[in-house]
Chains A and B, each alone.
Chain A
Amino acid sequence: MNFNNIQNLINTLIPSLPSWIVFMSAAIFISFFVINAVVMTGALTVWLERRLLARIQSRLGPNRWGPFGLFTPIADIIKMIGKEDIVPSTADKKIFNLAPIVLLVPVLLVFAVIPMSSNSFLGQLNIGILFIVGVTGFNTLAVFMAAWSSRNKYALFGAMRGVAMLLSYEVPMALSIVSVVLTTNFILNIEGSSLSALSLVGIVEAQRIPFFILQPLGCLIFVTAASAEMSRAPFDMIESESELGAGYHTEYSGIKFAIFQLTEFLAPVATAAIISVMFAGGIRGLSIIPGSISLIAKIFIIVLIFIWIRATWPRLRVDQIMNFAWKFLLPLSLINIFSQAVLLQIFLSSSSISNTELWIIAGINWIIAAVSIFILAKVFGHKGRAKNIPIPSPLANMEFKSE
């Protein structure tokens, strides 16, 4: 199901409609479908995250309404909508009201271009990956709008950290995307495909072996940078509830707060969708399973990994986060691009391409990844494991009574 199919369907059902009405009604149908499906997925993720986090922490988690507490998010949403919507009197009201929408819409837009079948909902968008980089960049703006307009110092602190962090992690993320596009371009050119290397369909097409095997370093950088982009643990700087109350959305309540929460839980799904398309082969999988099912399965596996990370890692400090971006991830992503370009030039300059050659590239890339991470970690990481050697103070003149 995609945009063109719906247009054709409307045209065949009612032949004599003006084309703009067909266009509009198809667009409304598609957006209705996508938004509802995505929001329901968000609700499911809320349940999944709370439930799984509880199991990891040896608790029960929500289990009151529905089987396994499955309907708890519905109760949450009803409660949120029922709450009073407070706008602080000192707030900049227009921007304050606009910020949740600016935050939510990019996440929904991402789902519009994810190829759920051989096509995405919006049809063949030949700059899909560029579109994703573009729209996800909006969240920086939305965070800053929310914080600045609500006129709260805690919110401002969250936004200050957030903007610095989000901007710096865009760089390694974009660079890891570049290496994916590079590889796709090479493979598609050799195969003589007409698909654009920037389109997500093209990227899926090029993944004879999934790119997380072909370029592990790029995948690792992308996962790290993306979890910073959606500000999840261990990079949940903009919210950091133990320090800043609620960070950038301190002043929000009611339905607007619900939108922030929804975005927070949708972001892992959207990121997982991008990762599974770019690195895990998208709809490719076992031939007996329909493509969309295998894509959804991949998305949820990656979401589970994100939840697992959240349950076991504490938050970094803001300067450490910036150091990590510029001193660790940026060199790594440059190494990744360079090595990938050189390898492709060596192996794929011929007119044909065999899977053996791809596996050789993958092997070399794994070695490069291991070595470069090891060296950079030696340079920037903690010096050895913390062995706490007790050092008695000279002031320790306590005379123990002999036992």
Chain B
Amino acid sequence: MTEALIVRGLDKTFTKPAVMDLDLTVHAGELYALLGPNGAGKTTTLRMVAGLTKPDKGEISVFGIDARADPAAAKAITAWAPDEAMVYDRLTPLEYLEFVAGLWNVEPKAAKARAEDLLAKLGLAAEARTRCEGFSRGMKQKVALAGALIHDPRLLILDEPLTGLDAAAARLVKDMLQERVDAGGTVILTTHILEVAERMADRIGIIAGGRLLAEGTLDALRAQTRKGGAGEGKDGSSLEDVFLQLTAADANGGAA
């Protein structure tokens, strides 16, 4: 199986350790959900993968490219969308997408067609030439998502992509992500909405205190909680139960 992302021994310390000896593997064509309580190190991990934060130690490989040795090559096939949309208030969505496409060197004609298509899919066609300054948080999130997709990345990294979206917009985004995965794309996302991860993710990683506590399909995680004695871990238990058992066990110093 091709690996979209391999992370080995990743370390990052700010004033205190944020990520410690983290190993992570994401297969190509899967939707991987990275879950964890606040301050667990999810965003720091993803920022290191996206090339925004320099790790103290460790290896990051994106589709076989050593992201630390050749960041430009890794970035060319990756997209990053943080929870705070990176859009310019004084640009229209179309102008924003033109800029982002330029950064990734997308051929102008193809970029324009793709931008119009993405905005239409995200329900922003009518606002394509309206400056973003009057947009709601959800609309800005959608513009940022279109920006992340404009260069058709092989690896899409999303930090809390559903924050600020209403039910209809959230469904739209989830459908787009699923569509992308079905077409062979790879998506890594963090979310606090565990039902989303439970329903959409092929595999789930649970991180706390900068360490990966568990990784696998929901069934594998259930099995892991049973084996590790972290809790009841029944076959029908929800991801929320599993998550709480694993993180509680870690907080209590138990093995998960």
A binds B: no
Seen from chain B, the residues whose Cβ lies within 8 Å of a Cβ on chain A are none
Seen from chain A, the residues whose Cβ lies within 8 Å of a Cβ on chain B are none
